[in-house]
Amino acid sequence: MNQVNTGAQVDVVSESDYRWNAIVRKDPAFDDKFFYGVKTTGVFCRPSCAARLPKFEHVSFYVTCEAALRSGFRPCKRCRPDETALRERQLLKVQQICELLDQAETIPSLLELAVHAGCSPHHLHRIFKCFTGLTPRAYAESGRNSWFFPRMSRRRSIKPVTRLADDFTIEATRFLA
Ligand SMILES: [Zn+2]
């Protein structure tokens, strides 16, 4: 029986497949588009990984990092495929919370924000501070009460969330290292 399973293993039957070619070229353009596991080492990598090219017959392909993990592969210590995905997920959460705070009439509680982000309040507090340098409340108050909290009146100097991605990634890399 053929299972259609998004996020699971992808069948790559030939060495002319673009995914195999991306690995051969170590092409970073394909990073996070798919991942590959190497049966002989039990490790999975991003396409651009600097590790030695495995044999084609030992490689299996996955659409997501989670699918590779579910199949029993460990993340490569060199290209850290899981951390990229983790950072992206965290960044997305923080972006959503920033947007929520920008639009909120009253500042939601940390618990409400955590429910919105689908994680624990503690985790949200930690990743929000990691990416923005502020707690969610400080972020909200920095715009809302800038005349009252002059030291926090940084809202205007905060870059648009969409432009923060690179800075966030650098911060997160340092944080996660
Ligand atoms: Zn790797």
Domain boundary among 50, 75, 100: 75
19 alpha carbon – ligand 1 mean position (Å): 15
113 alpha carbon – ligand 1 mean position (Å): 35
**161 versus 103: which is more confidently predicted?**
103
Instruction: Indicate which residue of 45, 49, 79, 98 is catalytic.
Output: 45
- The mean pLDDT of the chain is 80
| Boundaries of domain holding 61 | 2-75
111 alpha carbon – ligand 1 mean position (Å): 37
Give mean pLDDT, residues 90-99.
89
76 alpha carbon – ligand 1 mean position (Å): 4
Confidence of residue 156 (pLDDT cuts 50, 70, 90): very low
> Could you tell me the pTM of the whole model?
0.52
pLDDT the model gives residue 151: 37
52 alpha carbon – ligand 1 mean position (Å): 9
SS (H, E, C) the chain: CCCCCCCCEECCCCCCCHHHHHHHHCCHHHECCEEEEECCCCEEECCCCCCCCCCHHHEEEECCHHHHHHCCCEECCCCCHHHHHHHHHHHHHHHHHHHHHHHCCCCCCHHHHHHHHCCCHHHHHHHHHHHHCCCHHHHHHHHHCCCCCHHHCCHHHCCCHHHHHHHHHHHHHHHHC
pLDDT the model gives residue 7: 52
CATH code (residue 39): 3.40.10.10
Q: How many structural domains comprise the chain? A: 2
Would you say residue 155 has pLDDT above 60? no
114-126 pLDDT tens trace: 999 988 999 999 9
CATH code (residue 153): 1.10.10.60
pLDDT the model gives residue 52: 93
45 is catalytic: yes
16-64 pLDDT tens trace: 999 999 999 999 889 878 999 999 999 999 999 999 999 999 999 999 8
* 95 and 167 assigned to the same domain: yes
Domain boundary among 18, 40, 75: 75
**105 versus 162: which is more confidently predicted?**
105
Give mean pLDDT, residues 53-76.
94
**33 versus 110: which is more confidently predicted?**
110
38 alpha carbon – ligand 1 mean position (Å): 10
